[in-house]
Amino acid sequence: MSVSQKNHYRPNFHFAPSDGWVNDPNGLFYLDGVWHLYFQYYPHAPEHGPMHWGHATSRDLVHWEEQPIALFPDASRSIFSGSIVVDAQNTAGFGAAEAERAEGAVPPVVAIYTAHDAAKAKSGGDAALAAETQAIAYSLDGGTRWTHYEANPVLPNPGLRDFRDPKVSWDAERGRWLMVIAAGDCVHFYTSPNLKDWAFLSEFGAQIGAHGGVWECPDFFSMKVEKVHGEPPPPDAEEKWVLLVSLNPGGPNGGSATQYFVGDFDGTKFTPDKQFTAPPNHKKNAAKQIVGKPLNNPTVLETICSPYAWLDWGRDNYASVLFNNVPDGRRVMIGWMSNWDYAKKLPTSAEGWLGQMTLPRQLILAKTSVSGYVIKSHLPSEFGGDLDPTRKIRRSGTLKANGPLAQVGIAPITTLIESGEIDLTRAIMRIKIRQMSPMGSYRLVFCNEQGERLEILQHNAVPGTPVIVNRHSAGEGDFSQNFAGPVIAAPIVPVEEQGLCCSETNFMIILDKTSAEIFCNGGERAITVLFFPNWPYTTLLYSSDVAGSSYAIEVEEIAL
């Protein structure tokens, strides 16, 4: 296979493997200036074969270097998803505690993963109820070479077909390890003094939250609530606990997605705030019901006040989990940029690789009077989220024309970025749209001369109506019926702290060759989508059906 064939769809700045298959991020941790990303990996073909843990490292969260494979499957078990902790006090006894370590020696790091026995899982019956157990492995060189613990499993299966994806972190308040693990369509909490002996604490999830599919890849952590928009919370800020749960299928726009709950944890039990509790067995596909309907429609209001909080409303951010051991306490996350609805069919498989990660995202917990607690997604500062004033294009204007919402190539349409001005396969942009009449529509179109286009639009630009992303004609899409299909919709809620006027929507959009990460209204809504244009997008168009619609855009190329 030639280099160009192999790289036609290869992202410019998102992590993807050189060969083989990738799904969930695993074992994210930070140590001594290095960010470690492990991932579900099958190196021999672009398919979900017996799972390994691949490994990549970064010093800046932007550039990733593939490392040797960390964990290998054997004849009876795959290495499914899990986490890694830095065992600084050597609680597991695999290395040495801080005080006893030689100068410069790294602390032991311990991986907690699901050992998945595919034969048992397929056999059905009772054997399937023991197919997934939790095991550990350790590394004494900071995460490169690993040894499996000889007395695995450390947590046997309690009799569930799905019992996997342990996320372990240090509970500093209680001086012990805390595990959250997917258990059927609930999660279980466990605790341990030494990563080897685990005691059950509680179950969470029955009758709460979205249950359209199996629960997977949970994460559980505390967060201080932001007091002033854009500023780190002060030490006395209110603290809440956040539970992330990936769900497949049953996402707001179909297939895989990650929901979150905000609440309190008493050391045993997690209690979500009232706003996050849901009626039993509520399986409605919320977003699809509200497309095009005005804000005062009861279904819309119900959706906006929905107890289901989605970390990302796009189709392509799944199994998101956070880095452990981040020294400044920031909550930084990476997700798998795909969806089980079509992950195995993506056209990159013809290039010998399949699967990529989202950019790292910093999560912020805010409290708004409209939505209560909300998790906002931001680009971490390492990424240079603040646009460099010397390298950016900046434009603003007001549309004079008025008329029906334009198709590409038909007036009224304004070109915000022209072919050749900036490389739209590695661009970061901020766009503000203000509609003088909130009952008007607008559309942003990324396109190429061949007519392939990705559209972002809003009918009636009042807060509450959804932002819609349409990738129907974005490029190759017929590889799976599930891919190009319906539009992707995310209801927008006003962010009153930002002083938004009622007809304003703001976006940060990060564009790679085959993906857009769209953060709306200060990151309150994230929408991540893949697309596969045959030619790169070169142009950004803007149209609106109301006179006086104004825009302001700043865009720069990401320095790679």
Which active-site residues does the annotation give?
Answer: 24
* Distance of closest approach, residue 193 Cβ to ligand FRU, in angstroms: 26
The contact mask relative to ligand FRU for 1-30 (x = CB under 6 A, - = no) is: ----------------------xx------
Task: Return the sign of the alpha-carbon dihedral for residues 192, 196, 199, 205.
Answer: positive
Task: Return the sign of the alpha-carbon dihedral for residues 473, 477, 480, 482.
Answer: negative
Contact with ligand FRU (CB under 6 A) among 14, 29, 35, 40:
40
d(CA 305, CA 134): 37
Q: Which is nearer to ligand FRU, 217 or 457 (CB)?
A: 217
The contact mask relative to ligand FRU for 291-320 (x = CB under 6 A, - = no) is: ----------------------------x-
Would residue 481 be called left, alpha or beta, if left means φ above 0 and alpha means ψ between -120 and 50 degrees? Answer: alpha
* Distance of closest approach, residue 319 Cβ to ligand FRU, in angstroms: 5
Asked if residue 80 binds ligand FRU (CB under 6 A), the reply is yes
Contact with ligand FRU (CB under 6 A) among 10, 52, 77, 164:
164
Q: Which is nearer to ligand FRU, 256 or 549 (CB)?
A: 256
| CA neighbours closer than 13 Å in the CB half-sphere of residue 496 | 6
Which is it for strands 199-204 and 186-192: parallel, antiparallel or unpaired? antiparallel
d(CA 444, CA 534): 20
The contact mask relative to ligand FRU for 317-336 (x = CB under 6 A, - = no) is: --x-----------------
Contact with ligand FRU (CB under 6 A) among 51, 183, 186, 399:
51
CB-count exposure of residue 105 (10 Å: 0-12, 13-18, 19+): middle
* Distance of closest approach, residue 521 Cβ to ligand FRU, in angstroms: 29
Helix (H, G, I), strand (E, B) or coil at 345: helix
* Distance of closest approach, residue 340 Cβ to ligand FRU, in angstroms: 7
Q: Which is nearer to ligand FRU, 29 or 551 (CB)?
A: 29
Q: Are 419 and 449 in contact (CB under 8 A)?
A: yes
In degrees and rounded to multiples of 5, residue 304 shows phi and psi of -65, -35
Helix (H, G, I), strand (E, B) or coil at 304: helix
Q: Within positions 97 to 136, which residues make up the interface with ligand FRU, using CB under 6 A?
A: 114
**Cβ count near 453 (within 10 Å):** 22
* Distance of closest approach, residue 242 Cβ to ligand FRU, in angstroms: 19
d(CA 209, CA 204): 10
The contact mask relative to ligand FRU for 186-225 (x = CB under 6 A, - = no) is: ------------------------------xx--------
Q: Which is nearer to ligand FRU, 41 or 383 (CB)?
A: 41
* Site of interaction with ligand FRU (CB under 6 A): 23-24, 40, 51, 80-81, 114, 164-165, 216-217, 319
